[in-house]
Amino acid sequence: MHRRSFQIAAVAAALCCAATGASHAQQTLRLTAAGGHPPVFLWVKLIDEFFIPEVDKRLADAGGKTKIDWTRAWGGTLIKIGSESKGIADGVADIGFVSTLFEAPRFPLQNVSYFAPFGSEDIGTVTKVVAQLQHDVPAMGQAWTRNGLVYLGGAALDSYHLWTNFPVKSIDDLKGKKITAPGPSANWVQGTGAVAVAGNLNTYYEDIKSGVSNGVITFATGAWGAKVHEVAPYITKVNFGSQFAGGIAMNKGRFDKLPPEVQKIFREVGDEYTARFAAAQGAAAAGLLKKMEEAGARISELPAAERKRWADALPPMATTWAADLQGKGVPGEQVLKGYVEGLKKAGADLPRDWSAK
């Protein structure tokens, strides 16, 4: 009996040790993902429905040593538009979408596309050109780490067009009108006779409905989510080009503490997010323009001659932007030249060379 009792005790101890070992082998991380925009917009929707589940799946496939308990806080419930980078860097959230469009002081070089409009309408092209610049120009890539972040993947928005409550056949029709334009895109109405009004996707509908503005420069996927076509049914396809708007970023301190194999998964899923976003955003834009037309919107395309006329009417904002940054010790001229060259190499038909002085 004594021998039998000893065997039972030994087995029990082994099982206990095994259970304890298993519990020690798996670590559970608690991460909060946040964004200023709601998941009706694709750049947030893909984090919510692809990035997070895919990270979980790959962690499980890798043996399940690390598990993540996610908290999601979208739509400005935790961090507002324009303060995402600080919120993530400060640890209010651990990961999320940083809208560099609204954070120019922290990410000046990332906004290069907004100072060189009428570029490529291909989302993948713009994303790749900016990604290459972030790799090739240290000051550009280091903007993320300098702000306490790790860049995981980027997103360029589908080509910007014009939504108005009046028809537009030429730039002459804009004279005296108030056009809502986000951040640097306010420069795109200079020289047209229109007045730029500040705003973002969360304000466009009410801005136009209340008469604060007569229309907005935006992109199809954003316009649909904000229901802009309901108050501005005239859609003029100006094709200001796809614009780099930001990317997924993680708190650097938190990322650095992750096991190397987990960091690798985050980066790989971030790369796939970039590719999936470009494909999905492009397809969605075409489909949503059609839906807006079916809902009563009137779509027209600005003639090529008027598009060039509009581009030529704008001040030399790109070289001014680059020179201003250069004066602050930031390589604006290198980034501007690299961006324009990147678009040209990709076959973009540019009505104006913004890097020319």
In degrees rounded to 5, what are phi and psi of residue 28? Answer: -110, 120
In degrees rounded to 5, what are phi and psi of residue 112? Answer: -55, -40
CA distance 99 to 81: 7
In this predicted structure, what is the pLDDT of residue 102?
87
Nearest Cα neighbor of 267 from 125, 84, 89, 144 is 144
In degrees rounded to 5, what are phi and psi of residue 161? Answer: -135, -165
Residue 95 bridge partners (DSSP): 33, 250
In this predicted structure, what is the pLDDT of residue 200?
86
In this predicted structure, what is the pLDDT of residue 7?
47
The ranges of the chain with pLDDT < 70 are 1-25
| Tokens found for residue 71 | 């908290």
Structural domains of the chain ordered from first start: 27-156+243-285 (3.40.190.170), 160-241+288-345 (3.40.190.170)
User: Helix, strand or coil for residue 147?
Assistant: coil
CA distance 246 to 133: 14
Whether pTM exceeds 0.75 = yes
Nearest Cα neighbor of 160 from 242, 225, 235, 283 is 242
> Any alpha helices (H) in the chain, and if so which ranges?
2-25, 42-46, 52-61, 84-89, 123-136, 138-146, 204-209, 220-225, 252-256, 260-294, 304-313, 317-327, 332-345
Burial label, 232 (beta-carbon count in 10 A; 0-12, 13-18, 19+) = buried
In this predicted structure, what is the pLDDT of residue 12?
44
CA distance 86 to 147: 8
CA distance 101 to 84: 11
In degrees rounded to 5, what are phi and psi of residue 327? Answer: -65, -20
In this predicted structure, what is the pLDDT of residue 137?
97
What is the Rg, in whole angstroms, of the alpha carbon atoms belonging to the chain?
A: 24
